[in-house]
């Protein structure tokens, strides 16, 4: 009898939006609920894209499903950065110097 787990259909979520953050403020654009049972089972892999279109640079923080920091990067104004991860549990945007605006997109795979 074949394992039922091998017959699972993959699921995808696309989370997209625009942002405008003021100096010293952060915006959490994605966070898993760690107090609820994991349905579907973790980890959740996927890509994070951030476009900084106005104001200052945007700092991006990525944590995995257990809350450990796995990456931070800065997106300069006028640029778009995309990175792919094997375990995404939290994504936040921050600007320390001035207001910043732009777009974000997450493509998640369960």
pLDDT tens profile 59-110: 999 999 888 999 999 999 999 999 999 999 999 999 988 899 999 999 999 7
- pLDDT over 50 at 4, yes or no: no
* Least reliable range by pLDDT among 24-33, 36-45, 82-91: 36-45
CA–CA separation, 78 and 55 (whole Å): 10
What pTM does this model have? 0.84
Closest CA to 92 of 109, 78, 79, 75: 75
Q: Is the CB of residue 67 less than 8 Å from the CB of residue 89?
A: yes
**Which one has a higher pLDDT value, 82 or 1?**
82
CA–CA separation, 66 and 88 (whole Å): 9
């Amino acid at each position: 009898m074949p394992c039922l787990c091998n017959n699972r259909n993959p699921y995808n979520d696309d989370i997209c939006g625009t942002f405008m953050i003021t100096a010293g403020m952060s915006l959490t654009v994605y966070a898993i609920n760690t107090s609820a049972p994991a349905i579907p089972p973790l980890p959740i892999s996927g890509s994070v894209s951030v476009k900084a279109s106005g104001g200052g640079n945007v700092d991006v923080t990525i944590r995995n499903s257990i809350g450990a920091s796995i990456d931070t990067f800065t997106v300069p104004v006028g640029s778009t950065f995309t990175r792919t991860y094997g375990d995404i549990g939290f994504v936040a945007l921050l600007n320390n110097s001035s207001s910043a605006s732009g777009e974000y997109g997450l493509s998640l795979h369960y």
